[in-house]
Amino acid sequence: MDEQYDIIVLGTGLTECILSGIFSVEGKKVLHIDRNDYYGGESASLNLSQLFHKYRPDVTAPSDLGRERDYNIDLIPKFMMANGEIVRFLTHTDVTRYLEFKQIAGSFVYRDGKISKVPATETEAVASPLMGMVEKRRLQKFLEFIQNWNDEDESTHDGIDLDKNNMVELYEKFGLEPGTQDFIGHAMALHLDDGYLQKSARETVDKIILYVASIARYGKSPYIYPLHGLGELPQSFARLSAIYGGTYMLDHAVDEILYENGVAVGVRSGEQKATAKQIICDPSYAPTKVKTTGKVVRAICLLKHPIPETGDADSVQIVIPQNQVGRKHDVYVACVSSNHNVCPKDMYLAIASTIVETDEPEKEIQAGLDVMGPIHDKFISISDLKEPEADGTDDQIFISRSYDATSHFETVCDDVKNIYRRMTGSDLVLKQRPTQEQEQAEMNA
């Protein structure tokens, strides 16, 4: 470990591993350290005994739950938008060669006490109980307006300026009912709260376009998910880094970040030291340099049945909009099963999550727990949402943000791009890595 690196990365969360992979491909000498003996940090997938060790250290996992190695339990419930930025990261770096994906069977929304599928086809839209025929026509006109929008062609604007008009004004133009507004803002644009209504319409329109494009890619739902759990994502980027010369050290405590004249110059682990020009880390490695902006409550639930009212789907996402349960933030439920190689046959893993608003966080996810039906066991966690106090350019420590309450990875990708810009002064341009086939052809040439 005692040597000079370009970059030292602390923590093997997804954000850190993507950056480690990207910088290694660019030819930087990277050292990557984690205090845990597994990859993933806060975004890891744990086996059954690791889960019990984390939440109930004095309890042994009961044998009726099956073999511990059949479990890959995500600590953070997120799915991948099929047309999202995370997929672009994976395909450009060809990290997809280490992964297999499965589609999430359906996206659902909670309305008036029951859950209904978010339509993914025209046939489903016609049959959907979410709104009447007249309102469906209004929604169709709204979506056609978005689909036909062209910044350069004013005839497609219909008097709207996406940068100046807010979403309230855009909804009013199409006469959309409050329930439909909820559906668009929360089940399609996937906003966590109603703060978006007063912001410029462009952000929400872009999110709707991403949602529709993601559904169009595979049908059924906009989400895909890696077999063996989300912990496969950081591991795959770590593998990319290692192929390009990155050094990995798991199960190594970082005792100290070393400074000279207020600038980070390396780290110490026990008696060993390593120096570097720049350091990347998650908030837990630099607790004095981050601020807490909120809390997220999550309940990891083990079920012995699919979630009711979903047509026995093997995987779902359910959005419970804030207005439906008298809250300021939505409640999310994500469910996967043995078909995703994350638990034994006939078991299901469901996670309910939301942003904490009161001093009784567990009650705040009750609506999410209620839609799951009987719960065999559950593990509750409350995590601080942290972000760096400074941008890192002065002390050369670049700190990632905590994984937020959103149901997908778009904000993680934003953070990766943001940190890259702060570190290099230029925007991240993903270079297409040669595929396995191209590499093989070059070797044989």
* Confidence band for 438, pLDDT divided at 50, 70 and 90: low
Q: What is the mean pLDDT of residues 168-189?
A: 92
* Confidence band for 435, pLDDT divided at 50, 70 and 90: low
Summarize pLDDT for 184-198 with one digit per residue, the tens: 999 899 998 999 999
Q: What is the mean pLDDT of residues 208-223?
A: 89
Cα–Cα–Cα angle for 58, 62, 68, nearest 5°? 95
Distance in angstroms (rounded) separating the CA atoms of residues 258 and 248: 19
Distance in angstroms (rounded) separating the CA atoms of residues 36 and 31: 15
Query: Over 60: is that where the pLDDT of 368 sits?
Result: yes
Distance in angstroms (rounded) separating the CA atoms of residues 408 and 84: 9
Q: Burial code of 314-344, b = ≥16 C-beta within 10 A, e = fewer?
A: bbbbbbbbbbbbebebbbbbbbbbbebbbbe
* Confidence band for 356, pLDDT divided at 50, 70 and 90: very high
Distance in angstroms (rounded) separating the CA atoms of residues 113 and 320: 10
Token pair, residue 46, equals 């744990």
Distance in angstroms (rounded) separating the CA atoms of residues 41 and 281: 11
Contacts of 359 (CB under 8 A, 6+ apart): none
Which residue reads 């966080």 in tokens?
361
DSSP 8-state secondary structure symbol assigned to residue 373: -
Query: Over 60: is that where the pLDDT of 151 sits?
Result: yes
Lowest mean pLDDT among 5-9, 34-38, 128-132, 315-319: 128-132
User: Could you tell me how far CA 296 lies from the centroid of its own chain?
Assistant: 14
pLDDT the model gives residue 345: 94
pLDDT the model gives residue 440: 63
* Confidence band for 433, pLDDT divided at 50, 70 and 90: low
pLDDT the model gives residue 430: 83
pLDDT the model gives residue 131: 86
Q: What is the mean pLDDT of residues 136-153?
A: 92
H or E element that contains 122: helix 122-127
Distance in angstroms (rounded) separating the CA atoms of residues 395 and 408: 31
Q: What is the mean pLDDT of residues 401-417?
A: 93
User: Could you tell me how far CA 2 lies from the centroid of its own chain?
Assistant: 35
Q: What is the mean pLDDT of residues 318-332?
A: 94
- Residue 307's SS3 state is coil
Do 238 and 39 meet the contact criterion of CB atoms below 8 Å apart? yes
What share of the chain in percent tops pLDDT 70?
97
Lowest mean pLDDT among 121-135, 393-407, 408-422: 121-135
